[in-house]
Amino acid sequence: MTKTPLLDTVNFPADIKGFSREQIKQLADEVRTEVIDAVSVTGGHLGAGLGVVELTVAIHAVFDTPDDKLIWDVGHQCYPHKVLTGRRERMRTIRKGGGLSGFTKRAESEYDPFGAAHSSTSISAGMGFATARDLDGRHNHIISVIGDGSITAGMAYEAMNNAGATDSRQIVILNDNDMSIAPPVGAMSHLLSRTVSSGGYQALRGAAKSMVKGAPRPIKSTAKKAEEYTRGMFTGGTWFEELGFFYVGPVDGHDLDALIPVLENVKKMKDGPVLVHVVTQKGKGYAPAENSADKYHGVSKFNVVTGEQSKSVANAPSYTKVFAESLISEARKDDKIVGITAAMPGGTGMKEFGQVFPERMFDVGIAEQHAVTFAAGLAADGYKPFCAIYSTFLQRGYDQVVHDVAIQNLPVRFAMDRAGLVGADGPTHAGAFDISFMGCLPNMVLMAAADENDLARMVATAVARDDGPTAFRYARGEATGAGIEPNPQPLEIGKGRVLREGSSIAIFSYGTRLGEALIAAEKLDQLGLSTTVADARFAKPLDTELLCRLADEHEVVITIEEGSVGGFGAFCLHALADAGRLDAGVKIRTMTLPDTFIDQDSPELMYKQAKLDADSIVEKVFEVIGRNVADMQGLA
Ligand SMILES: Cc1ncc(C[n+]2csc(CCOP(=O)(O)OP(=O)(O)O)c2C)c(N)n1
Ligand SMILES: CC(=O)[C@@H](O)[C@H](O)COP(=O)(O)O
Ligand SMILES: [Mg+2]
């Protein structure tokens, strides 16, 4: 007998109330189908969401969102949550310009009480909500859902350490799918694996419902403590119990007959933090995802029937690939070179490096703070660590960059991928600030690659620099197609390059806006404004000699960068001021990312919105010389 579709009747979680257990199971199946279909059209994060379909439906069925606060860690798994919270109709706009965010976002829905995208924040945020509730005398529930990868990051422990010492009710659901983006690493992962593979868990699986049926806070009787430890020894919960959490689990996260009673009982618990250990499968319910190594963590558009993903035609290698191959080439000549990643071997290219040098590649888990100081320790003892962390995620380890690397002047090399705007991941992932936050540090050498050849040379430059820290940034995606010279040589530190000589306008570029600068120069030439284009290559030390020459020999100087205010342009202004060039009245303008956060779109459209494209450069020049394009066209 065909079942009446239920998802069409569910706009918000309140519509699930009153559903029978069988209807809830059917709804979960329909949500899974909906997510697969939507992501096949949009691309995006798939595996994580498929793994929490049942958990999402169960949470919304048992708890009363949005009064009960549901906080997703990272938020890449929130697509089922968005389907059930009034956003089903917009799912096919996800990660598109003007569309839904690919992560949870406060501004988007009252069902998203806290935004995410960077991992491991949910328990801290949850404790904030729980404390506010307690201070207000309210009684709503706070539920944080954090993955087994995300719980390896330091701030998750900071939060558990704090929460575990209070009696404030907070529910932490540990979504354990034995995956990060890559297979998980570290002792916590081993602990959780032991838990789930233990005979105790297997034996308890059938008893999950009764395990906490009406379970009050553990009576501190010997018998009860013995039972707790027994359970803990079987199920690994002891570690969490010792931190002050009432541990429940492991529970099969796809078995709604186990999950719902557990959550209903947890909901009745009266005081203190509870950790519910839920075991799920990333990619669950979609064979191409279940059978893939990365469980379809992040996908492009795909054929639902075959699972085959659409491939974009690349005319040039990605910057990531150029970095990986350059580092491998350098490491063949120098056995002191080691590579470090914080749970992103694939995205950073460290996976390729590790395939060639398995004993010299270290994946430390989602632990950027640790990654930086781990690298500092290696550098202090004679190694050449390349710490490959996306610009945005390096923000998580910034004090370690200052305190453990820069102050001690240790030769750590920072490979900052995803510099600038990154497109679909939006503002949380933009590499917008590293020029500012790295360039202000004494001892730091800071570079930006404008093409693949310069990236290869910057890797060589970083290898060669042993007398202090070096950082270099490069963009997400495809390089320019300029090619790479054989045996790329180190750059002369602090020296830029001039790509075209003019006499009226000078564009001083840092990073991959160089391409737009060259296009703008052609346009300006045609309009009678002879234009020089120079690539700074270094934001620190700045090529002050070249900059002063540009200021002395041109009417207008424009600086441009894929970074926030307070970066390359600011450094240029400092240098010109100190060299007395500003007294001389040179007309200088700095083109940076706007002092706002830019929502997701294609990178091209985002840079147009940021006014960092060729037409905007031309516009800026005309603004400075007080003419409009029409006048000048008359001159050309
Ligand atoms: C601070 C930070 N570092 C790295 C990332 C990149 N990242 C996104 S999801 C993910 C893996 C998360 O694993 P887990 O929490 O287990 O979630 P799952 O994908 O398995 O559901 C990583 C490393 C991030 N979002 N934030
Ligand atoms: C959710 C998350 O933070 C990662 O999956 C990130 O989206 C990867 O970014 P790239 O696609 O640029 O590697
Ligand atoms: Mg996981």
pLDDT at 233: 44
Which token pair is 210? 């009764």
**pLDDT averaged over every residue in the chain:** 93
119 marked among binding-site residues: yes
pLDDT digits (tens, 9 = 90+) for 19-48: 999 999 999 999 999 999 999 999 999 999
For residue 420, give the DSSP letter.
B
pLDDT at 585: 76
> What DSSP line would sit under 70-102, residue for residue?
EEESSSTT-HHHHIIIIIGGGGGGTTSTTS--S
Within a domain: residue 279? Answer: yes
Rounded-to-integer distance, Cα 509 and Cα 517, Å: 7
Shared domain for 465 and 510, answered yes or no, is no
Shared domain for 278 and 417, answered yes or no, is no
Q: In this predicted structure, which of 247-251, 252-256, 426-430 has the lowest mean pLDDT? A: 247-251
The residue to mutate among 429, 474, 600, having the most atoms of ligand 2 within 8 angstroms of its beta carbon, is 429
| In the chain, % of residues over pLDDT 70 | 92
Shared domain for 238 and 269, answered yes or no, is yes
pLDDT digits (tens, 9 = 90+) for 46-62: 999 999 999 999 999 99
Within a domain: residue 128? Answer: yes
The verdict on whether 396 is a catalytic residue reads: yes
Strands (E), 81-227: 142-147, 170-176
pLDDT digits (tens, 9 = 90+) for 369-388: 999 999 999 999 999 999 99
pLDDT at 312: 85
Q: CA torsion 408→409→414→419, rounded to 10°?
A: 100
- Name the strand (E) or helix (H) holding 337: strand 337-341
Q: Residue 271 class from Cβ within 10 Å (0-12 exposed, 13-18 middle, 19+ buried)? A: exposed
Shared domain for 127 and 236, answered yes or no, is yes
Distance (Å) from CA 396 to ligand 1 centroid: 13
Of the pLDDT bands very low, low, confident and very high (cuts 50, 70, 90), residue 229 is: very low
pLDDT digits (tens, 9 = 90+) for 601-630: 999 999 999 999 999 999 999 999 987 766
Report the CATH number at residue 130. 3.40.50.970
Catalytic residue among 54, 228, 368, 561: 368
Residues with CB under 6 A from ligand 1: 48, 51, 74, 76-77, 117-119, 147-150, 177, 179-181, 282, 342-344, 366, 368, 393, 396
Within a domain: residue 489? Answer: no
Distance (Å) from CA 149 to ligand 1 centroid: 6
Report the CATH number at residue 502. 3.40.50.920
Q: In this predicted structure, which of 67-81, 186-200, 321-335, 347-361 has the lowest mean pLDDT? A: 186-200
Write down the pTM of the prediction.
0.94
Q: Is 76 in the pocket of ligand 2 (CB under 6 A)?
A: yes
Within a domain: residue 2? Answer: no
- End-of-domain residue from the set 244, 269, 299: 299
Average pLDDT (440-465) is: 98
pLDDT at 235: 56
Distance (Å) from CA 48 to ligand 3 centroid: 7
Shared domain for 598 and 630, answered yes or no, is yes
Domain hosting 502: range is: 497-635
149 marked among binding-site residues: yes
Shared domain for 343 and 455, answered yes or no, is yes
- Strand order from edge to edge, sheet including 505-510: 497-500, 531-535, 505-510, 556-561, 587-591
Average pLDDT (430-444) is: 98
Q: How many domains, the chain?
A: 3
**Nearest ligand, CA 118:** 1
The verdict on whether 457 is a catalytic residue reads: no
Within a domain: residue 480? Answer: no
Catalytic residue among 82, 133, 282, 360: 282
Distance (Å) from CA 282 to ligand 3 centroid: 7
CB 531 within 8 A of CB 506: yes
Shared domain for 289 and 223, answered yes or no, is yes
DSSP, collapsed to helix, strand or coil, labels residue 418 as strand
Shared domain for 504 and 462, answered yes or no, is no
pLDDT at 199: 57
Distance (Å) from CA 281 to ligand 3 centroid: 9
Q: Is 70 exceeded by the pLDDT of residue 218? A: no
pLDDT at 422: 98
The verdict on whether 25 is a catalytic residue reads: no
Within a domain: residue 508? Answer: yes
312 marked among binding-site residues: no
Q: CA torsion 375→161→113→421, rounded to 10°?
A: 0
Respond yes or no on whether the N-terminal peptide bond of residue 261 is cis (omega within 30° of 0). no
Q: In this predicted structure, which of 221-225, 453-457, 584-588 has the lowest mean pLDDT? A: 221-225
ipTM of the complex: 0.99
391 marked among binding-site residues: no
Shared domain for 188 and 284, answered yes or no, is yes
pLDDT at 514: 98
Q: Is 74 in the pocket of ligand 2 (CB under 6 A)?
A: yes
Q: Which residue has the tokens 């593979």?
A: 197
Within a domain: residue 71? Answer: yes
Q: Is 60 exceeded by the pLDDT of residue 635? A: no
Rounded-to-integer distance, Cα 157 and Cα 92, Å: 36
- End-of-domain residue from the set 439, 473, 507: 473
pLDDT digits (tens, 9 = 90+) for 392-417: 999 999 999 999 999 999 999 999 99
Within a domain: residue 562? Answer: yes
CB 587 within 8 A of CB 555: yes
